[in-house]
Amino acid sequence: MGGNTKSIINVGYKRLRPDAQMPLYATAEAAGADLFAVEDVTLTPGKRALVSTGISIELDPGFEAQIRPRSGLAFKHGVTVLNAPGTIDSDYRGELKVLLINHGDTIFGIRAGDRVAQLVIAPVTTAHFFHVDEDLSTTDRGEGGFGSTGA
């Protein structure tokens, strides 16, 4: 289409239990790889739960993984990732966990093997923060924010 090339990085994963499933892209060009629950969880309305995936990954420095909601769960059941997007640091070696919340009005049951969220790999820019003594540069926006440009 635009002549841009796809970028692919290698990400090693470990199964922390035999029934864990590796993150899986549902289609060839999916941005997110689905994450699977390894346990049954019951989410009553308004409640949250940390759902185990049974997977750990090793990202190279300069990358992160984001745990994002699945829109189908949000649309059909009001179930979403509470801390979306969850941040997986490249130095994290623990199990990937998904913090789900039920914003719906009915009980939502998760079964082991269900796809509960999706993992997006992204490059990270690390800032070198330096203190400045002079004024910051002048812009049209200035200090306006939080709706300052109108509805």
Ligand X SMILES: O=c1ccn([C@H]2C[C@H](O)[C@@H](COP(=O)(O)OP(=O)(O)OP(=O)(O)O)O2)c(=O)[nH]1
Binding-site ranges for ligand X (CB under 6 A): 67, 83, 86-89, 92, 96-97, 99
Comparing CB distances to ligand X, the nearer of 44 and 87 is 87
**Among candidates 46, 45, 36, 32, which has minimal Cα distance to 16?**
36
102 is in an annotated binding site: no
The single-letter DSSP state of residue 72 is H
Comparing CB distances to ligand X, the nearer of 54 and 86 is 86
88 is in an annotated binding site: yes
Residue 103 CB, nearest approach to ligand X (Å): 17
53 is in an annotated binding site: no
Residue 151 CB, nearest approach to ligand X (Å): 32
115 is in an annotated binding site: no
Q: Where are the beta strands (DSSP E) in 2-112?
A: 12-15, 24-25, 33-36, 41-43, 48-52, 55-58, 63-68, 79-81, 86-88, 97-102, 108-110
Residue 81 CB, nearest approach to ligand X (Å): 7
Residue 5 CB, nearest approach to ligand X (Å): 29
Structure tokens at 115: 């796809």
Distance in angstroms (rounded) separating the CA atoms of residues 24 and 30: 9
Q: Which residue is nearest to ligand X (CB)?
A: 86
Residues 6+ apart with CB under 8 A from 143: none
Comparing CB distances to ligand X, the nearer of 67 and 77 is 67
The angle at the Cα of 124, spanning 2 to 119, to the nearest 5 degrees, equals 75
70 is in an annotated binding site: yes
Binding site per annotation, positions? 70-72, 83, 87-89
Binding site per annotation, positions for substrate? 70-72, 83, 87-89
